[in-house]
């Protein structure tokens, strides 16, 4: 595999920040966003290029890494090392980053772009390098907190019509039992999960016990990211599986969660855990330890969305995750082909080599708010 994926050296690294309007603001327990600002990377070697997208947001509200911290680390530390390296392959990335602690999101962006480039050079679709079989993936939609319950019920109705395999609704204190019971009376059999983004504490165990009566497939991140002990106290009291999202930065956190019995599902967001290779290692660890995994999303443009799709196509990601149609978030995207659901609600892998997406560079220019070029 290593021989097949050797891309030699990188001639040029271009960083971009684009700012795309969302079709409607995305509201969670921690705040609201009306645009997706994304840090992008284009790596060029000879005649071929690979792209990556950083999962970080503008603000440190969902997670402590931001676009600016990622840009700082990528341009100041990681990319200079990459430009000096030779014999580059996706699997040499973690060695290349040795000694630079944390900052999973820019590391993942670079690793993704190297994977894309390596697969394009080898003339294979990305899933082959990940050990996948290229099967279509199950879809999931994540619905933010709307102005009123009727709006949410309408959104769920359209999601069900499209055949989404799973609906996730954001909850927060005081916007929980009321909406879940309203949803359940209209959609008793819906594959429904809720995500609190850490809005509760162990004092809210009574609320969790009431939510437990609604056949939710998962309660995602009810407590703060660092509170694995608290999650274990909640999990002990309810049957609904807890899902850990923000809490999990890698295998060490998952091992702590296993020991403490903090939950039963790990939401793997490849940006947050440091890339595709780290995600696959984490998935193996979880499955060996009786944790299920689902593939999370970060409101990615078509670039990052494609990597998530390839990742979820690997055997092991049996639960539907966060991957939705492009039109769920964007009227205009920066890639040529939008992600759409098929008639059964599945998402097909993009065709072609690498991530399979073709970046619309005119659109990148149009939505660009920052650019930096680094050369070998
Ligand atoms: O907690 O899963 C989350 C989006 C941004 C930040 C955090 C989360 C989310 C989502 C949506 O739930 C995921 C997606 O549709 O890409
Ligand atoms: Mg979440």
Same domain, 327 and 362: no
Mean pLDDT of 350-365: 97
- We report the CATH number of the domain holding residue 19 as 3.30.390.10
Which helix (H) or strand (E) covers residue 113, if one does? helix 104-122
Same domain, 159 and 33: no
Mean pLDDT of 258-266: 98
Mean pLDDT of 6-23: 97
Domain hosting residue 117, numbered range: 12-124+357-375
Ligand 2: centre distance to CA 172 (Å): 12
Ligand 2: centre distance to CA 204 (Å): 18
Same domain, 366 and 339: no
280 contacts: CB under 8 Å, gap ≥ 6: 130, 131, 311, 314
Q: Please give the Cα distance from 118 to 103 (Å, whole number).
A: 23
Residue 6 within a domain: no
> Minimum-distance ligand to the CA of 28?
1
Give the per-residue pLDDT at 2: 45
3-class SS shares of the chain: helix, strand, coil, % to 5: 40, 25, 40
Residue 333 within a domain: yes
Same domain, 187 and 303: yes
Binned at pLDDT 50, 70 and 90, residue 4 comes out as confident
* Token output for 42: 């284009």
Ligand 2: centre distance to CA 308 (Å): 15
Residue 5 within a domain: no
Same domain, 257 and 335: yes
Same domain, 17 and 120: yes
- We report the CATH number of the domain holding residue 223 as 3.20.20.120
Ligand 1: centre distance to CA 296 (Å): 7
Which segments of the chain are extended strands (E)?
12-28, 31-45, 48-53, 137-138, 141-143, 167-170, 192-195, 218-220, 242-244, 265-268, 292-295, 346-347, 368-375
Q: Do 338 and 327 touch, CB atoms closer than 8 A?
A: yes
Phi, psi of 43 (to 5 degrees): -105, 135
With CA atoms as reference, report the closest residue to 343 among 44, 82, 99, 136.
136
- Please provide the average confidence, as pLDDT, over all residues in the chain: 97
For the cut 70, the answer to whether the pLDDT of residue 269 exceeds it is: yes
Residue 189 within a domain: yes
Mean pLDDT of 41-47: 97
Residue showing tokens 């990556």: 52
With CA atoms as reference, report the closest residue to 25 among 181, 113, 151.
151
Please report, rounded to a whole number, the percentage of residues in the chain having pLDDT higher than 70. Answer: 99
For 85, the 3-state DSSP assignment is: coil
For ligand 1, mutation pick of 322, 323, 347 (most atoms within 8 Å of CB): 322
Q: Do 222 and 208 touch, CB atoms closer than 8 A?
A: yes
Same domain, 318 and 371: no
Give the per-residue pLDDT at 135: 94
User: How far apart, in Å, are the Cα atoms of 57 and each of 21, 67, 86, 246, 365?
Assistant: 14, 6, 31, 14, 20
For the cut 80, the answer to whether the pLDDT of residue 267 exceeds it is: yes
Give the per-residue pLDDT at 85: 97
For ligand 1, mutation pick of 299, 323, 339 (most atoms within 8 Å of CB): 299
Binned at pLDDT 50, 70 and 90, residue 5 comes out as confident
Same domain, 34 and 154: no
With CA atoms as reference, report the closest residue to 13 among 64, 81, 62.
81
The residue contributing the CA closest to ligand 1 atom 12 is 142
The residue contributing the CA closest to ligand 1 atom 1 is 197
Residue 197 within a domain: yes
Q: Which residues are designated catalytic?
A: 170, 269
Mean pLDDT of 321-330: 98
Binned at pLDDT 50, 70 and 90, residue 167 comes out as very high
Same domain, 174 and 43: no
Which atom of ligand 1 is nearest to 168's Cα? 12
Residue showing tokens 């274990």: 232
Give the per-residue pLDDT at 204: 98
> Minimum-distance ligand to the CA of 221?
2
Ligand 2: centre distance to CA 92 (Å): 30
Same domain, 116 and 150: no
How many distinct structural domains can be found in the chain?
A: 2
Same domain, 280 and 156: yes
Residue 311 within a domain: yes
Q: Please give the Cα distance from 356 to 353 (Å, whole number).
A: 5
Give the per-residue pLDDT at 3: 56
The residue contributing the CA closest to ligand 1 atom 5 is 298
Which atom of ligand 1 is nearest to 299's Cα? 16
For the cut 60, the answer to whether the pLDDT of residue 1 exceeds it is: no
Around ligand 1, the residues with Cβ closer than 6 Å are: 62, 142, 195, 197, 245, 296-299, 322, 324
Tens digit of each residue's pLDDT (9 = 90 or more) over 274-299: 999 999 999 999 999 999 999 999 99
Which atom of ligand 1 is nearest to 308's Cα? 16
Which atom of ligand 1 is nearest to 141's Cα? 15
For 22, the 3-state DSSP assignment is: strand
Same domain, 72 and 134: no
Residue 2 within a domain: no
Enumerate the β-bridge partners of residue 172: 175
Whole-prediction pTM? 0.97
Tens digit of each residue's pLDDT (9 = 90 or more) over 121-138: 999 999 999 999 999 999
Residue 3 within a domain: no
């Amino acid at each position: 595999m290593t021989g097949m994926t050797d891309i030699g050296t990188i001639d040029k690294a271009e960083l971009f920040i684009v700012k795309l309007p969302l079709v409607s603001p995305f509201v969670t327990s921690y705040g609201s966003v009306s645009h997706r600002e994304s840090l992008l990377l284009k790596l060029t070697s000879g005649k071929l290029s690979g792209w990556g997208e950083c999962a970080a947001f503008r603000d440190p509200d969902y997670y402590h890494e931001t676009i600016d911290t990622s840009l700082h680390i990528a341009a100041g530390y990681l990319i200079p090392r990459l430009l000096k390296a030779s014999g580059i392959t996706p699997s040499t990335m973690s060695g290349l980053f040795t000694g630079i602690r944390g900052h999973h999101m820019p590391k993942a962006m670079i690793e993704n772009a190297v994977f894309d480039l390596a697969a394009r050079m080898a003339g294979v679709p990305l899933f082959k390098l990940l050990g996948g079989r290229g099967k279509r993936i199950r879809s999931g939609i994540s619905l933010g907190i709307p102005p009123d319950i009727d709006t949410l019920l309408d959104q769920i109705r359209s999601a069900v019509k499209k055949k989404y395999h799973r609906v996730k609704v954001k909850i927060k204190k005081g916007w929980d039992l009321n909406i879940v019971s309203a949803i359940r009376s209209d959609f008793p059999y819906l594959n429904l999960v809720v995500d609190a983004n850490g809005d509760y504490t162990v004092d809210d165990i009574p609320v969790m016990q009431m939510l437990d009566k609604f056949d939710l497939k998962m309660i995602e991140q009810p407590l703060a990211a660092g509170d694995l002990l608290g999650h274990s106290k909640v999990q002990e009291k309810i049957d609904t599986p807890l899902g850990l999202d923000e809490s999990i930065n890698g295998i060490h956190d998952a091992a702590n969660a296993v020991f403490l019995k903090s939950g039963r599902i790990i939401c793997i967001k490849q940006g947050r855990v440091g890339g595709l290779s780290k995600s696959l290692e984490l998935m193996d660890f979880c499955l060996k330890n009786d944790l299920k995994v689902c593939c999370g999303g970060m409101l990615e443009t078509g670039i990052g969305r494609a990597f998530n799709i390839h990742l979820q196509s690997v055997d092991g990601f049996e639960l539907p995750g966060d991957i939705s149609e492009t039109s769920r978030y964007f009227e205009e995207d920066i890639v040529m082909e939008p992600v759409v659901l098929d008639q059964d609600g599945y998402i097909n892998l993009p065709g072609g080599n690498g991530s399979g997406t073709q970046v619309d560079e005119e659109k990148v220019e149009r939505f660009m708010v920052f650019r930096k070029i680094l050369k070998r």
